Amino acid sequence: MDTKVLVLDIDGTLTNSEKKISDKTRQAIIDVMNRGHKVILASGRPTPGMIEYAKELELEKYEGYLLSFNGGKIINCKTGEILFQKTLPSSVIPQLYHFAEKNDCGLVTYLGDDIISARRMDPYLEIESKINGMPIKIVDNFIEYAEYDMNKCLMTANPELAEKYVEELNEKYHTILSVYRSEPFFIEIMPKNVDKATSLDRMLDSIGLTAEDAICCGDGFNDMTMIKFAGVGVAMGNAQPAVKEAADFITTTNDQDGIVKVIKEFIL
């Protein structure tokens, strides 16, 4: 039997609109692992925001993996070992803060179980807090406070402006950063050459598998690299139009157990 690797984004893919894994989807994923296939959760979320789903899917038991921070950190769920980690260059943090201040963007990073905010709360940061189940701590002097290794920063802005800011940030920092959107209002700021595909490639190589063995499923802009990379790239029925265009296969929505259809079609 050829081992397959099922790679799942979380929000809008693994979980339904209530941010829950349906019983049908959970059981189908467990069946896949019982047959010897691998499951990886790949998300822009910080690691603490992924743990509840890793536990629900018993990834520790089945030696699954977490790619958190869009691939900025890779963890073996069975051993807890960090297989890979890359952080932002510290010199760019003040510049990101001044960009956010100038353009009135939200700006956060992560420390332990907290989301660290450089500026006031906004509705998009409330979404980030709720999604991850992590509190937001607003600090007085972000530049001084943030003197530690960061896997990523997240900016927030109205969708019409966020697209423009991504272009501006990429133009200015393309040699040291990777900048892209996950949701229309979330601007993901990563170290250069960190995205889901690059980290997945590194991880697959470490376990003796290749892109051809991977079935990657997602719905957001930050899933496009791994969808294009995979042997089978899958867009959810609720995916952004650009993600659907990049995919080999479009399944049903996250509220219609789209992952179950993928498993039946390509694994079972």
φ, ψ at 154 (rounded to 5°):
-130, 125
Q: What residue ranges of the chain are covered by domains with CATH 3.30.1240.10?
A: 90-191
Which pLDDT score, from 0 to 100, does residue 1 have?
62
CA dist 153 and 47 (Å) reads: 14
Cβ-proximal residues to 224 (8 Å cutoff; 6+ apart), any chain? 218, 242, 243, 246
φ, ψ at 91 (rounded to 5°):
-65, -20
Q: What percent of the chain has pLDDT over 90?
A: 97
- In this structure, the number of other CB atoms found within 10 A of the CB of residue 25 comes to 22
CA dist 190 and 188 (Å) reads: 6
Contact present, 231 and 214 (Cβ < 8 Å): yes
Whole-number mean pLDDT of the chain? 96
State mean pLDDT over 12-25: 97
| Long-range interactions of 164-172: CB distance < 8 A, separation 24+ | 165/99, 165/103, 165/105, 169/99
Burial class of residue 113 (count of CB atoms within 10 Å of its CB; 0-12, 13-18, 19+):
middle
State mean pLDDT over 82-108: 96
Q: What residue ranges of the chain are covered by domains with CATH 3.40.50.1000?
A: 5-85+194-266
90-191 carries CATH number 3.30.1240.10: yes
Q: Tens digits of per-residue pLDDT, 209-257?
A: 999 999 999 999 999 999 999 999 999 999 999 999 999 999 999 999 9
Tell whether the model's pLDDT for residue 186 goes beyond 90: yes
Residue 213 exposure: Cα atoms within 13 Å on the Cβ side: 18
Tell whether the model's pLDDT for residue 28 goes beyond 90: yes
CA distances from 185 to 15, 105, 131, 154, 227 (A): 20, 10, 14, 10, 21
Tell whether the model's pLDDT for residue 120 goes beyond 90: no
pLDDT tier for residue 268 given thresholds of 50, 70 and 90: confident
Which numeric CATH code is attached to 5-85+194-266? 3.40.50.1000
- In this structure, the number of other CB atoms found within 10 A of the CB of residue 123 comes to 9
Which pLDDT score, from 0 to 100, does residue 121 have?
87
Tell whether the model's pLDDT for residue 174 goes beyond 90: yes
State mean pLDDT over 177-206: 95
